[in-house]
Structure 1
Amino acid sequence: MAGASRGVGRGIARALGEAGATVIVTARSSETGQRTEGRAEFVEDTAREVDAAGGKGHHYLCDHTSERAVDTLVHWILRRFGRIDVAVSSVWGGNEGYDGDRYPDGAAWGTPFWRRSAEPFLGFLGGGPQAGLLLARAVAPAMVSAKSGLIAFVSFDTQVGYLGDVFYDLAKATTNRLAFACAQELGPHGVTALGLSPGFVRTERAVDIGHADRATESPLYAGRALAALAADPALGTQAGRILHAGDLAAHYGFTDADGTQPARFCIGQ
């Protein structure tokens, strides 16, 4: 579970724990070392939440923008556990430094692209689709050998319309295309790749910048969506698609942490 120190990644790890899974939670932020933006959420906390939910959590510090680091992580997992059934990339660095009004370069959300430097876009790509690709290429050989497995990319559906910011929109569209492309190559080998699109999630950052009242769901909602997909014998029929947490809740019957079942999130709602 890549990018699991907080946000949707932590929610997915917890939901997999609810399903009784052994979950390797990975991120850069540790209670004993480096922490992203000095935040208080750590990968060790997520591992403990997996344990509390009924699974077995193991934490591993990893910079998912480094090919060598990701390869080393996957080799360690295979040596210790023998297989990887589900790999999820929820890595997202695009909002680092965003205070709810402006990014570190001074640009506000939705600033016209010709009025801002393109340099921050590299961070959006590296902290999103690139990290997803590095994880997928590292786990694919073992899954192809086993002729089974799920690789899921947490993203946001871009087919419904423009997401309001060029950098954000392009990063998510790239991740979505990555899910589709991986599905084409992995499908013949029995491995499913797909994208998962949460709604407006009540993450720790959303709370910190005063956006909690706009959120439609908790991080656990996307997590239960992923757990339901992983348990579905007909999973392969979803290959290459970008699936909405709200639609999956209606299909599988799960609820959010508060017992509600938020519908698919739509831009502008």
Structure 2
Amino acid sequence: MRMSEEQSQDMQHTQHTQDTAVPGAGQRPLRGRVALVAGATRGAGRAIAVQLGVLGATVYATGRTTRERVSEVGRTTETIEETGELVTAAGGEGVAVPVDHLEVDRVRDLVARIERDHGRLDVLVNDVWGGEHLIEFDGKMWELDLDRGMRMLELGVQTHIITSHCALPLLLRTGGGLLIEVTDGTAEANRAYRESFFYDLTKNAPIRMAFNLSHELKDAGATALSLTPGFLRSEQMLDHFGVTEENWRDAVAKEKHFALSESPVLVGRAVAALAADPDKARWNGASLYSGQVAKEYGFTDADGTVPDSWPYFARVMAGEDPGDPESYRLRP
């Protein structure tokens, strides 16, 4: 089943707003470039894939949920095929490939396909996750379910390592490549404990992986960095609060921090801006957040604002009073 007429119309409207909001979108600066977004079924990964498409990239979008098969996340409303179609509708070329990134042979086959098709890989985004259902915040490490904790590390850490190990040789072939580790939190903010042993490890590991690889990729002219969204209004998060993107503010009564939430578009535009920057090497080894990148490159979220989220959440995690969340929402 292809996109419905309503979805297609919505996508055309979204593409128009994207083109006017992303620097360089009209010129398609990523035309001829090839990206792999690992973990692009929904949320940040889907938005990243689409925004790379806005700038003209060919995007291999991977995930486990297809129109025939549902992953352990248990959601049937988003599929990897739909992500590929959205990338193409946005102006790029979307290639949807069902892949479980814990299966090394499947990842190697994916990279071999990209090599056969294009002979190059310019952008690698490690966004594999799907572990929200495993998070436990109530209990000490030895009181938490060990199987759930280890599965979280498999999904959020081992998948990233496998994908980088398989794909980096191709990324390094043409020079100027970009590796982005998507996580939750910045190196500075995550000095505070994330209130769950396994979740803390899972979300800090990509930051350190990007830092380590920044040293190993530098001599080849490639850039590695980590990137986090703020309080993300993903499909799952909206469902959790029982709201939609249109009435999301109704959830603020249940969770005051949600007032500073952001749509997936913001982190998608952040990745696209970084990928199109000829001077991206200045970010090598950096730990960035979406609002920070938006301020640097001059774009906004879909609503025309910039949620400057992590200065706010760093204070929250440090046990300080951050003040009114709305005061951190910039309106250019």
- Say yes or no: TM over 0.5: yes
Paired letter, 2:40 = A
Any idea what the Cα deviations from partners look like across 1:167-197, whole Å, max 9, x if unmatched? Answer: 1111111111111111111111111111011
2:40 maps to 4
Paired position in structure 1 for 2:86 = 49
Q: Cα RMSD (Å) of the superposition?
A: 1.7
Residue of structure 1 in register with 2:230 after alignment: 199
The match for 1:19 is: 55
1:239-250 paired onto structure 2 within 5 Å: 239-250=284-295
Cα deviations by residue, 1:73-108 (Å, 9 ceiling, x for unpaired): 11111111221110101101321x35xxxx5xxxx4
Question: Could you tell me how far apart the structure 2 residues matched to 1:118 and 1:240 are?
Answer: 32
The equivalent of 1:227 in structure 2 is 272
Deviations 1:222-261 (A, max 9, x none): 0100111111111111111111111110110111112211
**In 2, Cα distance between the equivalents of 1:132 and 1:185?**
16
The CA deviation string for residues 106-134 of structure 1, in whole angstroms up to 9 with x for no partner, is xx424332322333221121111211111
In structure 2, C-alpha distance between the alignment counterparts of 1:190 and 1:254, rounded to whole Å:
27
What corresponds to 1:127 in structure 2? Answer: 155
SS at match of 1:193: strand
Alignment of 1:237 with 2:282, yes or no, is: yes
Pick the structure with more helix per residue: 2
SS at 1:41 equivalent: coil
List alignment gaps of at least 5 residues for structure 1.
Answer: none
Instruction: Determine helix, strand or coil for the equivalent of 1:46.
Output: helix
Provide the residue aligned with 2:119 in structure 1.
82
Q: How does 1:154-173 map to 2 (within 5 A)?
A: 154-156=182-184, 157-160=186-189, 161-173=192-204
Residue in 1 aligned with 2:7?
none
SS of 2:125's equivalent in the other structure is strand
Q: Which moved more, 1:108-117 or 1:61-70?
A: 108-117
Change (3 A) 1:52 1:145: closer
Corresponding residue SS for 1:37: coil
Distance 2:174 2:270 in 1: 24
Q: How many pairs align?
A: 260
- Report if the CA contact (8 A) 2:187-2:287 is conserved: no
Percent sequence identity over aligned pairs: 39
> What's 1:209 paired with?
240
CA distance, structure 2, for counterparts of residue 110 and residue 168 of structure 1: 12
Change (3 A) 1:110 1:249: farther
Q: Secondary structure at the match of 1:38?
A: coil
For the residue of structure 2 that corresponds to 1:209, the secondary structure is helix
Equivalent in the alignment of 1:188:
219
- CA distance in structure 1 between the partners assigned to 2:278 and 2:309 by the alignment: 23
Distance 1:237 1:129, change over 3 A: same
| Pairing 1:112-123 to 2, within 5 Å after superposition | 112-123=140-151
The 5-angstrom pairing of residues 139-178 of structure 1 reads: 139-156=167-184, 157-160=186-189, 161-178=192-209
Q: Residues 237, 66 of structure 1: CA spacing in aligned structure 2 closer, same or farther, 3 A cutoff? A: same
Q: Secondary structure at the match of 2:309?
A: coil
* Of 83, 92, 104, the match for 2:129: 92
Which residue of the partner structure matches residue 261 of structure 1?
306
Distance 1:194 1:158 in 2: 11
Q: Equivalents in 1 of 2:156, 2:74: separation in Å?
A: 20
In 1, Cα distance between the equivalents of 2:130 and 2:71? 13
| Paired residue type of 1:23 | V
CA-to-aligned-CA distance 1:14-47 (integer Å, 9 cap, x gap): 1111111111110011012344433121001111
Secondary structure of the residue aligned to 2:82 is: helix
Q: What does residue 70 of structure 1 align with?
A: 107
The answer to whether the Cα contact below 8 Å between 1:92 and 1:127 also exists between their aligned partners in 2 is yes
State the structure with more CA Rg: 2
